[in-house]
Structure 1
Amino acid sequence: MFSRTLLCLLVASASSAALADTVWLKNGDRLTGTIKLFDGGKLLLETDYGGSIPLDWSKIATLESSQELLVKQSDTAGERAKTIQRSDDGKVILANGEAPKTVEMASIQQIIKPKPFVEDFVWKGNVDLALDYKRAESDTDDYDIDLKTQARHGRWRHNAAAEYNREFQDDVRTTDNWKAEYALDRFFTDKFFWQGRLEYKNDKVEELRRQRTIGTGPGYQFWDDELGAFSLAALANRSDYEYDTGRKDSFYEASLKWDYNRYLIGKTVELFSTGEVGRPLSGDADYSLDADIGLRYKVTDWASLNMKAERDVVSGAEGSLDSTRYTLGFGVGW
């Protein structure tokens, strides 16, 4: 019985070792784990003993991996290798079912895990929270909560976002607004999709009190992988504005909507931007802009520090709006 148990443990241990990726350093050290990605001169190796370890690419002699990885030697060209095999120092062997190919490690720009087009279910998102309390000649209390989440099931993608802002200066309310948005994407290919969206904004301070938008139009997904995503959608919208005077305005507009994020420095820093710029086809408004841009620094796999700039503009309408906000806070991602 003891022999059988020991044999099972040895087999399991050997299987785990066989499945582990291995990196050989130029100083003779050898590290095992799971290769997550290579980008920006850093190879990210996930280990049981040290968590995620970023390794300087110039310090690596060679490596091997039993998982399928996309190896890119330029911005546009990439090879899907079923395995990566060890070779001489400064080289690796890419095996994809055909004749193995030896490449110089210096020619490799990225290594990422390929993302299948149709996935059963993927859910990701983040919540950012910023609080600012200032006690001086002018007291300031500022609250900002931002939620963004996305769920993918087959060829359907659900996008939801919500935000709440509130600010007091010397007990006087200077900002008090919230907004919510839902968009549904239907992919026809791995790049092209059609989007339908609903958005509502409510402001208790500005002249423009309520904004309601419903729209639809085609979109294009430039990329969506381990390092980030970028998509554009050209929409035809119906918008309804309601002002503090009680007057209402309804019009149609054409808009361009974007959603961008990119991980940098071994996925420790994320650059992100979302927004929409539109031009009415009728009505009093000249154009509208609702956009944000920011950075997130990952403290752990789920926690991050973030800073963000937001711009909200409605030009030419009765209750013209032009506001800019800067926030610094803490976030949780999944």
Structure 2
Amino acid sequence: MSAIRSTHFPWPRLLLCLAVSSASASVLADTVWLKNGDRLSGTIRVFDGGKLVLQTSYGGNIAIDWKQVATLESDQDLLVKQDNVSGERAKALVPAEPGKVTLANDGAPKTVELASIEQIMKPKPLIEDFTWKGNIDLGIDYKRADKDTDDYEVDIKTQARHGLWRHNVEAEYNREKQNQEETTNNWSADYALDRFLDEKWFWQGRLGYKRDYIEDIARQRTIGTGPGYQFWDDELGAFSLAGLVNRRDFEYATGEKDNFYALTVRWDYNRYLLGKTVELFSNGEVGKPLEGVADYSLDAEAGLRYKVTDWASLNIKAEKDIVSGSGGDTDETRYSLGFGVGW
């Protein structure tokens, strides 16, 4: 009898394992129904700027026009914002009739219009709608020939946003030697605080400092404020313009000093291509003094990043720094190829 009992197959245990596996598989996939009847499965990354980004195993990150979405489903814990400030944390998204979705949480389920949703994102541990992104680019070049050249460059750019506030921080260090003689040695830091007035318009305050140990203009200090406009800012890139009134202070290598007011236009642009493997970027400012201290100034960079992994990239860029017509002119052009990390 004991031998017969030992041959019994453990059906209850098998059924339990299949149920757990089936439940786990369903958790891993979100579903998006389109108005044309198509259905896409993957993981919802973010919805912002009119684009829903769905991460898939078959096509990478897919950006879906929000106007084409009929409804959607997700078992993720998501923050759904119907304005720029407040949001509702949903433990799941449940499909509803076309043009709507149901937010499931601890209370009564709530069905909302898709057109009323401004953002969908993973909530952060402390500040739920906090987003932080940035890049650190490193460039090192050693050349041994008739002229030995050592070139170092570090470029940091990061941006954090919470509600109607956005913080922008940039820092850069450049140093170059030719035959042990320094031809470039400078560093700069810049901080800007944006307060959004609505979805597109914002007001910016900015502080900047640059120290140069080689050029005629040894120190530059900038403080400015003015309005800006955000054309777009989503998973596929961003573009903004700001017009500022700046107070600028120059200190020359001779010890002389100048200060003046200037009108400045700043831009910040980046765009992802080829499934977010290539990034085209450009940022900088062009300014015109209100007094006769200088004719104009330009500080700009443009380049490409190629993502080797989710966090590592190769980059190539060109930089231009001009101050024309002042007591000590500056005209620098730099090209660099390097390695970077991003988040």
Above 0.5 in TM-score?
Answer: yes
* Contact residue 31 and residue 40 of structure 2 kept, 8 A: no
Aligned to 2:295: 286
Residue 177 in 1 paired to residue 186 in 2? yes
1:19 to 21, 30, 38: 30
Report the counterpart of residue 40 of structure 1 in structure 2. Answer: none
Does 1:264 find its partner at 2:273?
A: yes
Q: 2: distance between equivalents of 1:126 and 1:249? A: 34
Deviation of the 1:187 alpha carbon: 0.5
Secondary structure, counterpart of 1:13 in structure 2: helix
**2:302/2:319 contact within 8 Å kept:** yes
Residue 252 (str. 1) matches residue 261 (str. 2): yes
Letter in 2 for 1:46: T
Q: Which runs of 5+ in 1 are unaligned?
A: 23-29, 38-42, 56-68, 73-77, 85-93, 99-112
Q: Distance in 1 between matches of 2:164 and 2:40?
A: 39
Cα distance in 2 for partners of 1:10, 1:169 equals 64
Q: Report the 3-state secondary structure (helix = DSSP H, G, I; strand = E; otherwise coil) of the residue aligned with 2:100.
A: coil
Q: Is the 8 A contact 1:70 1:81 kept in 2?
A: no
> 1-side partners of 2:16 and 2:221: how far apart?
66
Report what 1:6 is aligned to.
17
Q: Are the equivalent residues in 2 in contact too, given 1:21–1:34 (CA < 8 A)?
A: no
CA distance in 1, matches of 2:268, 2:257: 30
Query: Aligned match of 2:224 in 190, 197, 215?
Result: 215
1:82 counterpart SS class: strand
Distance 1:181 1:17, change over 3 A: closer
**Structure 2 gaps, min length 5:** 1-11, 34-38, 47-52, 74-96, 102-116, 122-126
- Measured after TM superposition, the shift of residue 21 of structure 1 is 6.7
The equivalent residue for 2:65 is 71
1:317 is aligned to 2:326: yes
Residues in 2 aligned to 1:44 and 1:299: alpha-carbon distance in whole angstroms: 21
For residue 192 of structure 2, what is the amino acid of its counterpart? Answer: A
Q: Which moved more, 1:3-12 or 1:113-122?
A: 113-122
Is the CA contact 1:119–1:152 (under 8 Å) kept in the aligned structure 2? no
Residue correspondence of structure 1 range 126-137 to structure 2 within 5 A = 126-137=135-146
Shift of 1:46: 3.1
Separation of aligned partners in 2, 1:160 and 1:267: 23
CA shift digits 1:41-78 (9 cap, x unpaired)? xx98533xx8x6489xxxxxxxxxxxxx7427xxxxx4
* Alpha-carbon distance in 1 for matches of 2:335, 2:98: 49
SS of 2:24's equivalent in the other structure is helix
Residue 123 of structure 1 contacts residue 150 of structure 1 at CA under 8 Å; is this kept in 2? yes
Q: Deviations over 1:147-168 (max 9, x none)?
A: 0000001110000000000000
The aligned counterpart of 1:329 is 338
Counterpart position of 1:61? none
Q: Whole-Å Cα distance in 1 between the matches of residues 268 and 165 of structure 2?
A: 17
Shift of 1:120: 1.5
**Aligned residue type for 1:289:** L
Q: Summarize deviations over 1:21-55 as a string: whole Å, max 9, x none.
A: 79xxxxxxx99644779xxxxx98533xx8x6489
| Pairing partner for 1:46 from 56, 64, 69 | 56
* Distance in structure 1 (CA, Å) of the matches to 2:19 and 2:231: 47
2:200: which partner in 1? 191
2-structure distance, mates of 1:33, 1:196: 40
Q: Is the 8 A contact 2:158 2:168 kept in 1?
A: yes
Counterpart in 2 of 1:105? none
- Confirm whether residue 97 of structure 1 aligns to residue 106 of structure 2: no
What's 2:306 paired with?
A: 297
Q: CA deviation at 1:17?
A: 6.3
Relative to the length of structure 1, the TM-score reads 0.75
Shift of 1:96: 1.9
Number of the residue aligned with 1:110? none
The structure with the larger Rg is 2
Task: Note closer, same or farther for the CA distance 1:287–1:97 as it changes in structure 2 (3 Å cut).
Answer: same
- For 1:7 and 1:323, the matched residues in 2 are separated by 66
Given that residues 32 and 69 in structure 2 are in contact (C-alpha distance below 8 angstroms), is that contact kept between their aligned partners in structure 1?
A: no
Q: Is the 8 A contact 1:314 1:321 kept in 2?
A: yes
SS, match of residue 146 in structure 2: coil
Corresponding residue for 1:83? 72
Task: Provide closer, same or farther for how the CA distance between residues 17 and 210 of structure 1 changes in structure 2, counting only shifts above 3 A.
Answer: closer
